[in-house]
Chains A and B, each alone.
Chain A
């Protein structure tokens, strides 16, 4: 069998399927002021790819994350984040950082309106394991001009999480799509 291109009617063997590196575990729309993805992190995987696309907000706002135990967000002051950002006109490196946050920053400051939407990819390391959880992320958006932010969020608690929450400010609602994949161990 010529992996990864399969012909019609070919039998997929365990060897073929075990070679698949990325499995979709959850997906759904970003909506409301806060959106939970419950049960997306399991012991089947250690690390995850999270893709956000066509993201929009109803008013200028950042998008943040919290980790979930069941449907309950971890609101402890154990999130640390930092990013570097570029805009096409500024042409320089901007940086910002926060410590002791109750929320983690995804790097998206979204444009308002559907003209230019935001996208981001996030790699989430070991959320289900009883150890610290990291996210590295890259987000493209258009707050007032084309921009990119590359950054990280570190959850300093050795806690096993099974979900993730996206949220924004109380004055805004979100739209867009989220797809979560697990990396085969």
Chain B
């Protein structure tokens, strides 16, 4: 099974959508961190 991240492209001009494997360069540029909700900060 191909477990490489993929990229899907939709075209506004009506061309058919397509999906392909991401390149190693594209994978390296993906975000890796999760922006969690922080504890509430009291107003001062």
Which residue numbers of A lie inside 8 Å of B, CB to CB? 25-29, 31-40, 42, 60-62, 64, 71, 75, 85, 87, 90-96, 102-103, 105, 109, 143-144, 147, 163, 167-170, 173
Residues of B within 8 A of A37 (CB): 10, 12
Bound complex: CA of A147 vs CA of B37, how far in Å?
Answer: 9
Q: Is the CB of B39 within 8 A of A36?
A: no
Q: Is the CB of A94 within 8 A of B12?
A: no
Q: Is the CB of B35 within 8 A of A109?
A: yes
Bound complex: CA of A158 vs CA of B20, how far in Å?
Answer: 30
Q: Is the CB of B31 within 8 A of A62?
A: yes
Residues of A within 8 A of B19 (CB): 31-32
Bound complex: CA of A71 vs CA of B8, how far in Å?
Answer: 11
- Given A28-B17, A39-B11, A40-B12, the answer on whether A34 and B26 have CB atoms closer than 8 Å is yes
Residues of A within 8 A of B32 (CB): 169-170
Number of interface residues of B (CB under 8 A): 27
The distance from the CB of B22 to the nearest CB of chain A, in whole angstroms, is: 7
Residues of B within 8 A of A71 (CB): 9
Q: Which 9 A-B pairs have the closest CB atoms?
A: A92-B40, A28-B10, A33-B5, A39-B12, A32-B6, A36-B9, A34-B7, A26-B12, A32-B8
Residues of B within 8 A of A102 (CB): 29
Q: Is the CB of A38 within 8 A of B31?
A: no
Bound complex: CA of A60 vs CA of B29, how far in Å?
Answer: 18
The distance from the CB of A116 to the nearest CB of chain B, in whole angstroms, is: 15
Bound complex: CA of A167 vs CA of B26, how far in Å?
Answer: 11
The distance from the CB of A45 to the nearest CB of chain B, in whole angstroms, is: 12
Residues of B within 8 A of A170 (CB): 5, 27, 30, 32
Q: Is the CB of A39 within 8 A of B13?
A: yes
Q: Is the CB of A92 within 8 A of B8?
A: no
Q: A87-B37, A92-B40, A94-B41 are in contact. List 7 more A-B contacts (CB 8 A).
A: A37-B12, A71-B9, A90-B39, A105-B35, A109-B34, A109-B36, A170-B27
